[in-house]
Structure 1
Amino acid sequence: MTFSIHGLAVARGIAIGRAVLVASSRVNVAHYFISNDEVAAEIERVRVGRNAVVDEIHRLQRTISHMG
């Protein structure tokens, strides 16, 4: 992992500002086959997951907008 800080040095040992941690990693994705009668349930599972991600993004947008 690389750690990098950018900014203007004002006083030695003191940092003022927002900290943001961005983690980058590879995600292991399971690959598997499903039968034809499982397709509808799998599509619904994907929709539920997508909606959860959309809700989380909206929550984060509201949180960030309140930060100024």
Structure 2
Amino acid sequence: MSKITMTIGHKYLHHRKIDLDGRPLEAERWIKCIGLTKNGALFQHEFEVFELESERLKTEIIQEFRGF
């Protein structure tokens, strides 16, 4: 997904690769966009705040939460 289409306050599905006990796995979680930066966007998941750069946004953000 492109930084241009990001909306502050909206939730997005974050698909990423992680290592758990030395095993490579794929994980998904819902994250909330809390700001846009020069290089990407700031997100929050529970108490964790982190930045994803533009290149990672394109590969790791799958879809926007549409509601019920």
Of Structure 1 and Structure 2, which has the larger fraction of its residues in strand?
2
Give the TM-score, by structure 2 length: 0.18
What TM-score do you get using the length of structure 1 for normalisation? 0.18
Q: Which has the higher contact order (CA 8 A, sep 6+)?
A: 2
Q: Which has the larger Rg?
A: 1
More helix by share: 1
